[in-house]
Structure 1
Amino acid sequence: MPKASSNPTQRPRKRPSTTTPERSSGRDAVERILAMLVVVFGGIAVVGFAATLAHVAFRDGNAFFAGIAWQYAYWLPLVALPIMIVCVVVLVIMGARGKARRN
């Protein structure tokens, strides 16, 4: 069996033990919330697109898709996409300001 290398770059370093968790700032919490909102509003928009397509495709042949609620499904993407875009812009601005402040 070959010997282990004596090169220190090929041996894994011991990681320092962290007993106290790092405190997260309010900025980190807001960024996490904005990231979750982007995903949620993106999902709502996709569901709205799918519901609109289902309503248009099946409204004449199926009584379930001819209901009133399906007629308003096209509003989901029209509302969710602009809110999602605003959240993305705010998230990018907050990230850039935080990075500039650190540097």
Structure 2
Amino acid sequence: MEALPYLQKVTLKREHVFSFDTYPFSIPAVNQLFEIDFSKHVTIFVGENGSGKSTLLEAIAIGLGFNAEGGSKNFNFQTQHSHSELHKYLLLSKSFKRYKDGFFLR
């Protein structure tokens, strides 16, 4: 039996977005987002500079409990508030199995 990934799906709660004309909802990766399915072993984000790949990955990491500036879950500091509020608008669907360790490489 193949193991399920911990993070299975990310959905943008579009009904809660006040305006898609404001940051971060105006950037292409977020503006065109409905759902990301993580059922495969590898997911690759592709796009031009400024398309929102890093903003989206950062929001997913924050939603999973990681520090916005990178590191493990036990690495909790903030030198400068630089992340968006996008994580508040994402619904993260997770497996019943918890992961043992993780790291957000910024």
Tell me if both proteins adopt one fold, taking TM over 0.5 as the criterion.
Answer: no
Please, what TM-score do these two structures have when normalized by structure 1?
0.26
Q: Which has the higher contact order (CA 8 A, sep 6+)?
A: 2
Structure with higher strand content: 2
Structure with higher helix content: 1
Please, what TM-score do these two structures have when normalized by structure 2?
0.26
